[in-house]
Structure 1
């Protein structure tokens, strides 16, 4: 696989790599923007400078067009994004956005994703914000480039821009004259800021956006070409394996590394405090040496993990601070009251391909790292801190990993490779985690406890709502070296940054804890746990998964108390017209009013607007329950989603289908197991997931069209509603409510047995 190994920066691209960067003086390029008067020569000293105008999406953080669009003299086009392709199809959707506004075919664009030497810094690819931030930035940048190309061509032809059109990498005049994009920028290297307004194309004129485009990342994966960082092979590359401690608090007390060092192909044994690794010429040599080294290591272990048999009590014991998420009116217990306690266990990402990274320390003192991290720039900062290197000497390039959706082991594997590479001068080093390492050491989705107390008035409406949740922070992504395992295990260990209670509109552990329904009196509190006995971080949807599960389960119980239909009860309390639309569409396509369930089958419904400010999603499910065995199988799922302007409808369907299936897996099967010392769920037997035999017969996704509306994101919208729909379908089938995730066979048998 050919990989550009030299240190490349956007600055070096601009000043001397032989390419031409698109950028123009914007002047009167936009017909809707009148020319600004010339500023006074000497501004009054008492007048402070005006702050720069806000720009759309991530343009506000990287304001120059040449950070996003490049056109070369040969008429080739390159588009840059700081977001990473994680299997969510964002590379394809962003490509469509750029192609639409540039009036070119998607195949005409080279698309570069997250790379600290080449792309804008867009932080993490997380929170279903890639389309909102990067998509909006690229669309506006591309539209401005198109307008500027038209303006430049108009100047050359001596005609008005309205007499021209852009098409197929050229600007065409009505009289037949034409000029290519490359010719228009030939001999110019320009660098100016984008403008707040753009002449965006209108939905009725779209050629690429809103239409299905096959995923550009899929072909290589299907035919076996290099697609993942796991596939990367560099000349002279060595293979490394890390020997992890047997438990989170273990300390390495004794090591005889002689036997491992003497094994065939072994190049080096690396030890730095509790960090222990072996480097070999071939991969299986590294695996064998790792096992030998592990047998020779002696560790001192301590009991530091909580009591899993009473996890809710442990969570309440660890509470240190309480924050108010939402408050309105005065919650009361007057009227019909429903109270419940719900729990969620620690859960893993369960990436099918264990984490992997490649790093090379070069003779010029720079370090290249290839990683499936979700944030190349934050990871660069953390690695640089760990190694005491200047950030500009560290170059992190994103390559896909086979499994993600949150902060898994990718950053840690990158740190492993970086640290080992500094001990093996000049040669690339590939680090591949083992399955048991991925299960035992990746950051988990935090356990949660949710308590609800809701009151109905005489008209059958929710009058009062009190909601309390107990949870750690849901994000410990790299910002500092202390977020990396290798840095924590070094002799000069870095400590994790202290966790802080932070309540924001997009939420964290409190994500979606405030119901979108109209409730006059409510109070939502986050009981914050700064101590993290198990290592935790972002897992798809953060707290939104468990909070929506608890809220929507309660909504169904309240509907039963009023003898109301669950869908009608939701609509009774919903004012947002877009929310009502997805609820009604999902119910209609499911055939909710006509769905008569046979014995041991039930139907369930779930709804949420992700973060209460992103995509709307409702889903109805039919599930079958086997009381004797406790097995639950979802037969069919019918969903409706509104994620704003549609770029790639297939992409929206893919993400929604995948989210529903993953949520079913979490809800029915998944929980991290541990004793007071170690993680014990270290493989797929001890940590079961949804298998093909249990996949629903059908999963439908119906998309609400919102032409001209802002992008709202898609990737995490299904997690909470799908869990609630499963729970409510089981309730409908058995008459019993399950409160503790996951709904294992044993839990269901126990619940039904108490009938």
Structure 2
């Protein structure tokens, strides 16, 4: 597979192709469902030309262009499979170029579990259109009908064996025709690649610790940089002695002070780190606004002013409960969570003064929105900013990738002509990344004692936004908020940020109310895997289990009784089959949870097995099972990997993780204060995939998050009889 770019010449060389596409998607379009049969896939609607997605190479190979970045979801392998299938090529003959401005289509963000639904399906249709066009070009040359021809690697071939090469047909040009419906898609009965577990070649590079991530990039003459952060969000710079720092730390090339933004550039990385440490000890800052600690966080969220939205409402709640009706209410809480990237955020930037051009290598999940943000931040023309996506070491969501790119860009301008590598420290990452928002939930329900069915359901939630991605807005970049002329983010009443994702139950209830309160909490927040779905499903599925217990009903049958979608029922039945015969010892329990992600994407049912030490309250998770239906499966192993990773990450969130703060700032600044699962805590996971090759593919990368949390909470209850409604499920909550 292609290695990370290691020279400016190679970086610029790859931008010479005139294969350019642009997508302008709103947040609602970003999360849109798969298209109907008469519509092109979302990304293709705004980039309809074949050569926006596909280049046919003279050597019989093909190059695929995707605006999505590889973040561990296996998009590079999946889109290669899809293209190879339609072009009748070996998967190995398909190269994949990932997100790069001016080179790949603008697909906005790699987010919302939409890479397969949007990018891979766009590539499928473009490749099918390319195959059809090549057959049409070859027909008059071979004097045969299109139906008498087939595409083989590098040539169009007739049944007689006569052939004409793709290179001869194209004559050095690319296919610029528009893709139109009905697309001449290959019959699925003839598939050779799609539906097969093609190994991801990039994993071998990771395992061998070869250069792969943006953190691994090295360039001739490259210099290194660090940024001094204030002690708290609104603290401001009072005193910084650049001369003293230069005398104390050799190798410092440049210091940049712009308002309260302080950056240091040094010849070597260790020198930059030493300079940062010195600066932390000798720089003076104002105290800043204290963080609120006078109330517990769930109470604080409920007390904050905000905007209220009725997400769903039907039925009559004015009548008193019928005689004998079972009524229940409960409150739940999800704390702030970190992305917890194993490799702290990193970027490399190069500023060319003559051309007034900026080049950035980044693990941002949106290279085009970042380009717009950086252009405005540095007062450059957008087409003079070139952003190349390079995989980063671990993140599903919006961590510090965009912020560190802005840091590097500002400092690259101070040392023009030299590559500036800016690596955040662990303290930077833990204290300054935008977290997943804390959330609070109040749920109420009534159950008819005669039918055993829920008749009334109310779900009220309080949450900060779940997306503050830059999206062309420089004020959302961390550095912009500390400049001499600060650009401060506006307070937005933004319900498109995923606050109420999966708050509306997928179950069918006669009377339903779902209300969301968008508030502005005390910490910096943005997109974290599954957005609001993690907290909403935790609350919803914990509450469903509580109702099943109170109504003395089997938890599987209780859920099935309230579902009408047979695919939803199928994953629940499948996971029940998977755990059939499991022996439960004393202090052990099984817990079930189900959700359809976004109520439009993949279906996932999870069962967790836990043991609870009655003396210490320590929870061990020996096994987790999941059944997932993501429609047509491109790569079964890739889908399993995504689900297994989601199960493990969500289990760590549920049992271990919580961002903590005091009045002065964040206190969980190292792994010791913010523990994630260690290897000996990772459960054995088993995933069953319900492949539906005749159905559209569905987003699956975030499907397991919410069900895992609720399944664990439900399992803990069945193991020890204690219901934990406030995450994380720490041992101290289970003793005494």
Q: Could you state the TM-score of these two structures normalised by the residue count of structure 2?
A: 0.94
Q: What are the equivalent positions in structure 2 for 1:388-407 lying under 5 Å apart?
A: 388-407=379-398
Judged with a 3 Å threshold, the aligned counterparts in structure 2 of structure 1 residues 708 and 57 are, in CA distance, closer, same or farther, namely farther
Q: What is the match of residue 576 of structure 1?
A: 565
Given candidates 432, 449, 461, the residue that maps to 1:441 is 432
Judged with a 3 Å threshold, the aligned counterparts in structure 2 of structure 1 residues 7 and 665 are, in CA distance, closer, same or farther, namely closer
Q: What are the equivalent positions in structure 2 for 1:325-724 lying under 5 Å apart?
A: 325-331=311-317, 334=321, 335-362=325-352, 363-458=354-449, 459-479=451-471, 480-502=473-495, 508-529=498-519, 531-591=520-580, 594-696=581-683, 698-724=684-710
Q: What secondary structure, in the 3-state scheme, does the structure 2 residue paired with 1:14 have?
A: coil
Q: Bigger CA drift: 348-357 or 71-80?
A: 71-80
Give the deviation of 1:189 after TM superposition: 4.7
Tell whether the 8 Å contact from 2:307 to 2:493 is kept in structure 1 after alignment.
Answer: no
Q: What is the match of residue 26 of structure 2?
A: none
**Could you list the per-position Cα deviations for residues 256-290 of structure 1 after superposition, in whole angstroms to 9, with x for gaps in the alignment?**
12122232211011111111111111100111111
Tell whether the 8 Å contact from 1:476 to 1:538 is kept in structure 2 after alignment.
Answer: yes
Q: What secondary structure, in the 3-state scheme, does the structure 2 residue paired with 1:199 have?
A: coil
> Counterparts of 1:702 and 1:361 in 2: how far apart (Å)?
50
> Counterparts of 2:161 and 2:415 in 1: how far apart (Å)?
62
Give the deviation of 1:319 after TM superposition: 3.1
Q: What is the match of residue 28 of structure 2?
A: none
Tell whether the 8 Å contact from 1:5 to 1:368 is kept in structure 2 after alignment.
Answer: no
Give the deviation of 1:2 after TM superposition: 3.3
**Could you list the per-position Cα deviations for residues 285-324 of structure 1 after superposition, in whole angstroms to 9, with x for gaps in the alignment?**
1111111122221001134322275111210121322101
**Could you list the per-position Cα deviations for residues 625-674 of structure 1 after superposition, in whole angstroms to 9, with x for gaps in the alignment?**
01211111111111100011110001001000000000100000000010
Q: Bigger CA drift: 201-210 or 343-352?
A: 201-210
Given candidates 722, 726, 731, the residue that maps to 1:740 is 726
Give the deviation of 1:469 after TM superposition: 0.2
Q: What secondary structure, in the 3-state scheme, does the structure 2 residue paired with 1:477 have?
A: coil
Q: What is the match of residue 2 of structure 1?
A: 6
Q: What secondary structure, in the 3-state scheme, does the structure 1 residue paired with 2:662 have?
A: coil
Q: What is the match of residue 712 of structure 2?
A: 726
> Counterparts of 1:277 and 1:553 in 2: how far apart (Å)?
47
> Counterparts of 1:379 and 1:288 in 2: how far apart (Å)?
30
> Counterparts of 1:361 and 1:306 in 2: how far apart (Å)?
41
> Counterparts of 1:641 and 1:258 in 2: how far apart (Å)?
60
> Counterparts of 2:571 and 2:336 in 1: how far apart (Å)?
31
Q: What are the equivalent positions in structure 2 for 1:45-84 lying under 5 Å apart?
A: 54-84=39-69
> Counterparts of 1:3 and 1:294 in 2: how far apart (Å)?
33
**Could you list the per-position Cα deviations for residues 238-270 of structure 1 after superposition, in whole angstroms to 9, with x for gaps in the alignment?**
000111111111111111121222322110111
Q: What is the match of residue 26 of structure 1?
A: none
Q: What secondary structure, in the 3-state scheme, does the structure 1 residue paired with 2:194 have?
A: coil
Q: What is the match of residue 79 of structure 2?
A: 94
Q: What are the equivalent positions in structure 2 for 1:175-190 lying under 5 Å apart?
A: 175-190=160-175
Give the deviation of 1:498 after TM superposition: 2.6
Give the deviation of 1:6 after TM superposition: 7.2
Give the deviation of 1:9 after TM superposition: 10
Q: What are the equivalent positions in structure 2 for 1:132-151 lying under 5 Å apart?
A: 132-151=117-136
Q: What secondary structure, in the 3-state scheme, does the structure 1 residue paired with 2:18 have?
A: helix
Q: What secondary structure, in the 3-state scheme, does the structure 2 residue paired with 1:110 have?
A: strand
> Counterparts of 1:242 and 1:611 in 2: how far apart (Å)?
38
> Counterparts of 2:39 and 2:211 in 1: how far apart (Å)?
40
**RMSD across aligned positions (CA):** 1.8
Give the deviation of 1:188 after TM superposition: 3.5
Q: Could you state the TM-score of these two structures normalised by the residue count of structure 1?
A: 0.91
Q: Bigger CA drift: 244-253 or 430-439?
A: 244-253
Number of residues of Structure 1 aligned to a counterpart in Structure 2: 708
